């Protein structure tokens, strides 16, 4: 598979990465097979996270005995403070069975409060800087769902790589982030290239994304057939057709204003409802194991039943979503799929 220069890291990475979320829900033996298939197809860029259950461990098993320099490994820590960050990084290294990680991301800088904690004295960023100095990490990176926050952080100039959701529906990164990444020569990882499982047309998703020469889509992969299909689209360098553009327009209007971008600007809610978690229930149920979904989203759904319909959140949502109505729909979907 074609390799491209990944911004200022200078790393040569495959045109797509292998996203390590879905292997959480398959057996270790199957996960090893699917990771090795991706590598056999020429994918040298593997992205996972400390919090993706046993994903790092399964990847570690799959790459055992391979030449380390042939792989570009990325992982993430959600820590706010340095001590927790150091613990996460050491465990990531141990689980992956490597003595350095190419790209280590401060995971999901979602709010101003988290940003302050990370960059404050004794924050996770200090830990990341020290890890780069000691050689445990090659390149500092971060991920976020918030476009304005990401722009500010990128402009700070401390990071070599950014990861943001980007697909033909959730395309807010297109306007500012992608050109800024190019200007700053940063690597850009496109999170949720298939909308976290909501967009099921792989051809459309990748033909859309591969028009951008400075982004690396990071699809979460669970089955060998999936990675073969996507790798085929990439290898054939399929171009976006007029028909595709029409389909995208149609789907955009179908998703329309009800698409939650998980930016969390609607917070705080007086009832403590984790709004974005409930509004994205459908995609979470599609992606994760039943047990994991229950533990991750179950409490948010229960809280959502207490919505006062005060509308405070709606005044802050930049996408003008009808949040109380969408919460009700999210709860109803949950009850239908998971049992009330
Ligand atoms: S409408 Fe519901 S979700 Fe929104 S702020 Fe009020 S209680 Fe919270
Ligand atoms: S409801 Fe609106 S403000 Fe809240 S996370 Fe979703 S898109 Fe963002």
108 Rama sector, left if φ>0, alpha if ψ -120 to 50, beta otherwise: left
Calpha distance 327→66 (Å, rounded): 47
Calpha distance 120→206 (Å, rounded): 38
Residue spans of the domains in the chain: they are: 3-245, 275-338
Cα 154 to chain center, whole Å? Answer: 17
Superfamily (CATH) of domain 3-245: NADP-dependent oxidoreductase domain (3.20.20.100)
For residue 30, name the pLDDT band (cuts at 50, 70, 90): very high
Average pLDDT of span 74-80: 96
42 pLDDT exceeds 90? yes
For residue 257, name the pLDDT band (cuts at 50, 70, 90): low
pLDDT, position 168: 93
In this structure, which residue's CA is closest to atom 4 in ligand 1? 313
Q: Which atom of ligand 2 is nearest to the CA of 316?
A: 3
pLDDT, position 320: 83
Report the separation in Å between the CA atom of 329 and the middle of ligand 1, taken as the mean of its atom positions. 14
Calpha distance 240→244 (Å, rounded): 6
Query: Candidates 276, 313, 321: which one to mutate for ligand 1, based on the most atoms within 8 Å of Cβ?
Result: 313
For the stretch 84-93, pLDDT in tens is 999 999 999 9
* Mean pLDDT estimate for the chain: 93
Least confident of 22-26, 133-137, 187-191: 22-26
Q: Which atom of ligand 1 is nearest to the CA of 304?
A: 3
For residue 319, name the pLDDT band (cuts at 50, 70, 90): confident
In this structure, which residue's CA is closest to atom 2 in ligand 1? 307
Any atom of ligand 2 within 6 Å of the Cβ of 323: yes
Ligand sitting nearest the alpha carbon of 320: 2
199 pLDDT exceeds 90? no
The DSSP secondary-structure symbol of 120 reads S
334 pLDDT exceeds 80? yes
For residue 287, name the pLDDT band (cuts at 50, 70, 90): low
For the stretch 43-63, pLDDT in tens is 999 999 988 889 999 999 999
């Amino acid at each position: 598979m074609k390799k491209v220069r990944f911004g200022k890291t200078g790393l040569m990475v495959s045109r797509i990465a292998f996203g390590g979320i879905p292997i959480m829900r398959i057996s270790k033996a199957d996960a090893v097979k699917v990771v090795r298939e991706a590598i056999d197809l020429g994918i040298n860029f593997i992205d996972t996270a400390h919090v993706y259950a046993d994903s790092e461990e399964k990847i570690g098993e799959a790459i055992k005995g391979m030449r380390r320099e042939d792989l570009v490994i990325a992982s993430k820590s959600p820590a706010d403070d340095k001590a927790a960050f150091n613990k996460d990084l050491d465990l990531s290294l141990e689980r992956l069975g490597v003595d350095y990680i190419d790209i280590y991301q401060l995971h999901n800088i979602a709010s101003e409060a988290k940003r302050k904690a990370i960059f404050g004295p004794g924050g996770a960023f200090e830990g990341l800087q020290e890890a780069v100095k000691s050689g445990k990490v090659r390149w500092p990176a971060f991920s976020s769902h918030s476009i304005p926050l990401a722009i500010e952080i990128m402009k700070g100039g401390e990071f070599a790589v950014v990861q943001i959701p980007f697909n033909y529906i959730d395309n807010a990164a297109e306007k500012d982030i992608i050109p800024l990444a190019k200007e700053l020569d940063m690597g850009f990882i496109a999170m949720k290239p298939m909308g976290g499982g909501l967009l099921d047309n792989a051809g459309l998703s990748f033909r859309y994304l591969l028009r951008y020469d400075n982004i690396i889509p990071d699809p979460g992969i669970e089955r060998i057939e999936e990675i073969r299909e996507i790798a085929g689209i990439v290898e054939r360098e399929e171009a976006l057709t007029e028909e595709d553009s029409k389909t995208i327009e149609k789907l955009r209007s179908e998703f329309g204003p009800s698409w939650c971008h998980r930016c969390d600007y609607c917070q705080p809610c007086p009832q403590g409802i984790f709004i974005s978690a409930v509004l994205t229930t459908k995609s979470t149920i599609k992606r994760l194991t039943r047990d994991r979904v229950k533990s991750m989203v179950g409490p948010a759904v229960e809280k959502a039943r207490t919505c006062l319909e005060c509308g405070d959140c709606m005044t802050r949502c930049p996408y003008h979503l009808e949040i109380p109505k969408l919460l009700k729909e999210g709860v109803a979907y949950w009850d239908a799929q998971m049992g009330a």
